[in-house]
């Protein structure tokens, strides 16, 4: 039987599914801009009239299905393996997103080199850089990337053919925005191309057992271009983030079919590529001076691992009519809520002050358990009194000013104890923590009391 013939493309809206005969910037049905993408239409031979001639499919009880052991290839880059949940899974499609220049290519070339050294056949296909440029990068790394196969090719069909023929076990595509399939007429990087290429790579991975890792650039808005479409196709989605001006790079899993999500891996960019940072808390607190006001330490749960970070705040008289609120690493709305609670429930006014808040190491505060540390840093700056250098702040603050407990208290305190913290300000714990002295607070006015002169 001849393979299905492709005859034409359709242009489908990703929002409402409406089909257009040609590309339009705005969907004719739902009116959304930039959601229409090209898709291939394959024409299949007409269905046979007699369904009995088709092979029948039979479902089977789950208990009859043989459980295969999940194999993982460890790359030997500890933080990378940790975030992946133990290593790369054969036959899986992983996506690594991040802004340009953050270190995605470096990380993958290092992982590729280590896997090659462990005996895996690796192909690094790059449309971003020529093989000469990849070689230059490889020369800087400690790892020996010499035996890694490199290919400067953007035609997906060609890349897959080479992969199949040369028995490659790990295929790296750098990046999904530069590859294209000849099946579609749209340009590489367009939503249709990105989605179709990712879907083909997924099928290829599942059919051949090849592990495929794809780099995806994140656009300014934060979405991986070919927006969310890639995330649901991939088995594992990792984001590489951090301030490019800082040395630290944070790798986080936001989706993982083979492990837990939200695990955080920390790397530092060195002259010889990326180095894993095995003890992030110590690094994030390294520059902290106990004598400055406007600083408080909290312990965040990043996936299963506690990480200590310093929250810094500065309240300064405003030179303008409307005071500024600048938040880095914390949601500005959360900051506004905390300022309002401190004002109404704690009697501490920031009304005419500019307020700046930031978090060490480029970490983002995602959990409300960090509220108490933010409030302590704000009050400490307001009253110009440093928080105790050995104190940790843990607690969520409610709109009534009440302080609520945080989860995983023991794990957070163990990490804090390891780094020499002696006491923890938190809502009354069920049992006194074994290693730190608990100072229980039930309301923000008690916190104000500890920091006001
Ligand atoms: P790169 O991996 O090219 O980023 P991406 O693929 O995410 O765009 O790395 C970008 C930066 O890292 C670049 O500015 C150079 C720097 N770098 C180092 O500082 N040390 C090194 O050993 C390497 C390879 C790169
Ligand atoms: Mg790159």
What is the distance between the terminal CA atoms of the chain, rounded to a whole angstrom?
A: 86
Check if the beta carbon of residue 334 is closer than 8 Å to that of residue 376.
no
Rounded distance between C-alpha atoms, residue 19 and residue 28, angstroms: 9
Check if the beta carbon of residue 97 is closer than 8 Å to that of residue 237.
yes
Q: Which run of H or E residues covers position 110? A: helix 104-117
| Burial degree of 119 (CB within 10 A; 0-12, 13-18, 19+) | exposed
* % residues pLDDT > 70 (the chain): 92
**Is the predicted pLDDT of residue 12 greater than 90, yes or no?**
no
Assigned token pair, 129: 């850089």
- Per 3-state DSSP, the chain is made up of helix, strand and coil in percentages (nearest 5) of 30, 30, 45
> Residues 170-225: pLDDT tens digits?
999 998 989 999 988 888 888 888 889 999 999 999 999 999 999 998 866 656 55
Q: pLDDT band at residue 1, thresholds of 50, 70 and 90?
A: very low
Rounded distance between C-alpha atoms, residue 187 and residue 408, angstroms: 49
Residues with CB under 6 A from ligand 1: 98, 100-106, 137, 140, 269, 271-273
Ligand 1 atom closest to the Cα of residue 98 is 7
Q: Which run of H or E residues covers position 7? A: strand 5-13
Q: Is 13 helix (H, G, I), strand (E, B) or coil?
A: strand
Rounded distance between C-alpha atoms, residue 84 and residue 170, angstroms: 15
What integer is the mean pLDDT of 81-94?
Answer: 94
Residue to mutate (ligand 1; options 77, 99, 101, 178; most atoms within 8 A of CB): 101
pLDDT at 150: 95
- 327 phi and psi, to 5 degrees? -120, 125
For the beta sheet containing 391-393, the strands, ordered from the edge strand earlier in sequence to the opposite edge, are 325-328, 353-359, 305-317, 295-302, 391-393, 423-426, 437-440
Question: Taking the model in full, what pTM does it have?
Answer: 0.82
Q: Is 53 helix (H, G, I), strand (E, B) or coil?
A: helix
Ligand number, closest to the Cα atom of 103: 1
Ligand 1 atom closest to the Cα of residue 99 is 7
Rounded distance between C-alpha atoms, residue 186 and residue 180, angstroms: 9
Ligand number, closest to the Cα atom of 174: 2
> Residues 325-336: pLDDT tens digits?
999 999 999 999
pLDDT at 44: 60
Assigned token pair, 213: 């890792």
What's CA 282's distance to the chain center, in Å?
Answer: 22
What integer is the mean pLDDT of 93-116?
Answer: 93
Task: Name residues whose C-beta falls within 8 Å of residue 203's C-beta, 6 or more positions apart in sequence.
Answer: none
> Residues 335-376: pLDDT tens digits?
999 999 999 999 999 988 999 999 988 888 999 999 999 999
CA angle 427, 428, 430 (to 5 degrees): 130
User: Which residue's alpha carbon is nearest to atom 11 within ligand 1?
Assistant: 101
């Amino acid at each position: 039987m001849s393979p299905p013939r492709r005859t034409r493309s359709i242009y489908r809206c990703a929002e409402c599914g409406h089909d257009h005969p040609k590309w339009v910037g705005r969907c004719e049905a739902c009116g959304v801009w930039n959601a229409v993408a090209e898709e291939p239409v394959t024409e299949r031979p007409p269905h046979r009239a007699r369904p009995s001639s088709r092979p029948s499919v039979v479902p089977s009880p789950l208990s009859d299905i043989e459980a295969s052991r999940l194999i993982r290839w460890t790359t030997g880059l500890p933080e990378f393996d940790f975030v992946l949940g133990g290593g790369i899974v054969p036959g899986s499609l992983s996506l690594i997103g991040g802004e340009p220049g953050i270190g995605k290519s470096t990380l993958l070339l290092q992982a590729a080199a280590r896997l090659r050294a462990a005996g895996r056949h690796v192909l690094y296909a790059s449309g971003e850089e020529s093989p000469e440029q990849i070689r230059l990068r490889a020369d800087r790394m400690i790892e020996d990337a010499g035996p890694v196969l490199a290919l400067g090719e953007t035609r997906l069909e060609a890349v897959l053919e080479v992969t199949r023929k040369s028995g490659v076990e790990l295929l790296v595509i750098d990046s999904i925005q530069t590859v294209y399939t000849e099946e579609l007429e749209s340009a590489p990087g367009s939503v249709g191309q990105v989605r179709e290429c990712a879907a083909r790579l997924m099928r290829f991975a599942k059919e051949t057992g090849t592990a495929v890792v794809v780099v995806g650039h994140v656009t300014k808005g934060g979405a991986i271009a070919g927006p969310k479409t890639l995330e649901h196709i991939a088995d594992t989605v990792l984001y590489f983030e951090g301030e490019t001006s800082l040395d630290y790079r944070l790798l986080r899993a936001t989706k993982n079919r083979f492990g837990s999500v939200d695990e955080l891996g920390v790397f530092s960019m060195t002259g010889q590529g990326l180095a894993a940072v095995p003890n992030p808390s110590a690094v994030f607190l390294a520059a902290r001076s106990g004598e400055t006001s406007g600083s408080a330490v909290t312990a965040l749960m990043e996936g299963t691992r506690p990480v200590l970070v310093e929250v810094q705040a500065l309240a300064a008289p405003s030179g303008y009519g409307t005071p500024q609120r600048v938040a880095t690493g914390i949601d500005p709305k959360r900051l506004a809520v905390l300022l309002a609670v401190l004002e109404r429930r704690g009697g501490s006014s920031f009304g005419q002050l500019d307020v700046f808040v930031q978090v060490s190491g480029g970490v983002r505060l995602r959990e409300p358990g960090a509220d108490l540390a933010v409030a302590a840093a704000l009050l400490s700056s307001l009253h110009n009194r440093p928080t105790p250098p050995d104190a940790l702040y843990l607690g969520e603050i409610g709109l009534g000013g009440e302080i609520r407990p945080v989860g995983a208290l023991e794990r957070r305190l163990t990490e804090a104890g390891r780094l020499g913290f002696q006491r923890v300000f938190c809502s009354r714990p069920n049992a006194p923590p074994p290693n730190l002295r608990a100072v229980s607070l039930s309301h923000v006015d008690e916190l104000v009391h500890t920091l006001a002169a």
